[in-house]
Structure 1
Amino acid sequence: MPIQTVGILSPGDMGQAIASVLNQHELKTIAALENRSLRTRQLAAAANIEDVGSLTQLVIESDVVLSVLVPAAAAEVAKQVAEVIDNVGKPILYVDANAIAPQKVKRIAHLIESVGGTFVDAAIIGPPPRVPGRTRIYASGKQASEFQQLGNYGLDIRVIGDEIGQASGLKMSYAALTKGLTAIGTELLIAAHRLGLDEELWQEVSHSQPELAAILTRSIPSMTPKAHRWIGEMEEIAETFQELGLTERIFYGAADVYRLVNDTSLGQETPEESNRDRLLSEVITTLADEIADE
């Protein structure tokens, strides 16, 4: 089936950027902005996403619905979409691109398929795709090749298998490394600040681990406005690892780090408000001062 219209759930920072790429390549994107925030409406308008009002209308008009949400919302929104599919009788392709555990995405797939929809498991790795070549979308499931049509409209989509859960498993494994490392780096640098050892630690890390120093310099300042989303992502990773018989404690701890960051002034900024030129040392000082001692 040729894809002509893509419904975006929801046009936040990532969803808006994906829609913008599709629109630039002349593929229509729509969103259900009924009762959504002013920021979401503004992001949608900036990307030329058409507002169709309700979720029902979005399902009616879409060939593909792409779900890009905070992890905690993924299952509930999928349930709402399934109810609409059942009511209107339209067998759309539902693509779950949320950072959720493989066992959870399998349950969502069963829900969508039980009402006549088709399903693809997807995983976004990289930043919002505003710069070509930096963002990859991995996909799995029997309908993944259908979703791969969007590769003709500016997205880098890579099919990795026929099984639901493969793409999500890749996301969980990769984010455990990248965002897990950022959480560890954030906490240890705050600890060094409180011990009065900022300069000494950073000199040693820069000397003995220059690649790591470069990663932390880049990743921690850009993390703060996204910490609220990464809480749930770390919890999903914890559930994934627990299901595999591994320890989940590391990632519940990482979730706690992001929860602390989220409660600071830096964590309350939106990506648009965040100062992208803010130095790592400034970020750590602010976090160390604002995160209360337990």
Structure 2
Amino acid sequence: MDQPTVGILHPGSMGAAVAACAATNAADVLWCEAGRSSASVERAAQAGLTPVATLAELLDRSDIVISLCPPASAEELAHDVAGHRFAGVYVEANAINPERSTRIAALLEPVAIVVDGGVVGSPPVGGKTPALYLSGPAGAIERIEALFVGTAVRTVVLGTDIGKASALKLAYASFQKTSRVLVALAVGMAREHGVDQELIEVASRRADSYLSERQYVAKTAARAWRWGPELEEAADTLAAAGLPPEMLRAAASTLARWHDTKDDSSLTLADALDRLAHP
């Protein structure tokens, strides 16, 4: 099979790294630079992606399009793609709930072939090997699997039903992200009463406790702009299953207190806790 041309929408830290892996088995990997930030331009350049001027050009040239963007933008982006009548394979890899994945599939099909995807793990750089879970038409999934053969992205097939990959992604995110928020609240409470070090010592006796990883609080704050909307999607998924969504909505609300720390790698634990207490 000839190597496909791949389009990535849009190369954030995860999207750029995944696209760089896809480039191993692709003829070219395109991205649309119109309206994107200088940080996106730099990420795309470092990943070796080929810039194009418009979304229309990207869609016209691409056999496979991978959508990796903030959850809130997923359907708007899919609408834009549908408006251009894209006829290739569209990988909906955003952290959105299964109902939204199904809506996007209905929007793009039958002109395009839609694969539901969910990335679990850190961006594939520095030895990290995230898993890309896939569900959807078997033939299209085989093309995505071939795209990542021999790369740091592991593909795992969950079946043919759209929504399975999204559900798994959000089920894991519900635990992994909310537990980090609870660490911030616990450490913040302890610090207020001068027992934060003692709390860490208690937690460190348990090898499986996130409380022993308080350095992650600052990283959580820097990622809050992405994690909050993702947990809202997970809350919607719980509600659709008849399960109580309030804890995840509360975690998302807590993360919103860090709205102005987007991708701030210089943030310290003290900074993050101060902002959490006094937004």
TM-score normalized by the length of structure 1: 0.87
Q: Aligned partners of 1:122 and 1:31: how far apart in 2? A: 19
Determine if contact 2:203/2:211 at 8 Å carries over to the other structure.
Answer: no
Contact kept? 1:190, 1:288, Cα under 8 Å? yes
The reply to whether residue 274 of structure 1 matches residue 274 of structure 2 is: no
Return the alpha-carbon distance in structure 2 between the equivalents of residues 21 and 199 of structure 1. 41
Q: Which piece of structure 1 moves more, 1-10 or 92-101?
A: 1-10
Question: Matches of 1:120 and 1:213 in 2, distance apart?
Answer: 34
Please, what is the CA RMSD of the aligned residues?
2.0
Q: After TM superposition, give the deviation of residue 210 of structure 1 in Å.
A: 2.8
- Aligned equivalent of 1:79: 79
Deviation of 1:252 (Å): 0.5
Q: Secondary structure at the match of 2:109?
A: helix
Q: Could you tell me how far 1:28 is from its partner in structure 2?
A: 1.5
Choose from 192, 195, 202 the match for 2:193. Answer: 195
Q: Deviations over 1:13-48 (max 9, x none)?
A: 011111222335564100011121111111111111
CA contact (8 A) 2:30 2:58 kept: yes
Alpha carbons of structure 1 residues 215 and 17: separation in structure 2 relative to 1, 3 Å = farther
Q: Is the 8 A contact 1:140 1:163 kept in 2?
A: yes
Q: Which residue of 1 aligns with 2:163?
A: 165
Do the aligned residues in 1 keep the contact of 2:187 with 2:196 (CA within 8 Å)? yes
Q: Name the amino acid aligned to 2:71.
A: P
Residue 129 of structure 1 is matched in structure 2 by 124
* 2:177 aligned to which of 176, 179, 199: 179
Q: Is the CA contact (8 Å cut-off) linking 2:90 and 2:115 kept in structure 1?
A: yes
Q: 1:215 to 1:16 in 2, by over 3 A?
A: farther
Partner Cα distance (2:53, 2:234) in 1 = 34
- Please say if residues 109 and 119 of structure 1, whose CA atoms lie closer than 8 Å, have aligned partners that are also in contact: yes
- Aligned-pair CA distance for 1:287: 2.2
Instruction: Note the alpha carbon deviations across 1:220-246, whole angstroms, 9 max, x for none.
Output: 343232110111001000000000000
Amino acid at match of 2:265: S
1:63–1:3: structure 2 CA closer, same or farther, 3 Å change rule?
Answer: farther
TM-score, normalisation: structure 2: 0.92
Residues paired across the two proteins, number: 276
Query: Where in structure 1 are there 5+ consecutive unaligned residues?
Result: none
CA deviations on 1:239-294 (whole Å, 9 max, x unpaired) are: 0000000000010011012111233xxx23x3xx514xx7xxx41x2223233458
- Given that 2:170 and 2:234 are in contact with CA atoms closer than 8 Å, whether structure 1 keeps it comes out as yes
Distance in 1 between the 2:128 and 2:158 partners?
A: 18
Specify the SS of the correspondent of 2:213. helix
- 2:229 aligned with 1:232: yes
1:96-129 CA-partner distances (Å, limit 9, x unpaired): 1000000110000100104x11100000000011
Equivalences for residues 9-28 of structure 1 within 5 A:
9-24=9-24, 27-28=27-28
Aligned to 1:51: 51
2:96 maps to 1:100: yes
**Aligned counterparts of 1:49 and 1:236: Cα–Cα separation in 2:** 30
2:148 partner SS: helix
1:99–1:236 CA contact under 8 A, matched in 2:
yes
Distance 2:24 2:146 in 1: 15
- Provide, for residues 117-151 of structure 1, a one-character-per-residue CA deviation record: whole Å limited to 9, x for no partner: 11000000000111445211000011322322212
Indicate conservation of the 8 Å contact 2:122/2:128, yes or no. Answer: no
How many Å separate the matches in 2 of 1:213 and 1:7? 37
Amino acid at match of 1:179: K
In the alignment, structure 1 residue 223 sits paired with structure 2 residue 209: no
Poorly superposed stretches of 4+, deviation over 4 Å: 24-27
Map residues 51-70 of structure 1 onto 2, 5 A cutoff. Answer: 51-70=51-70
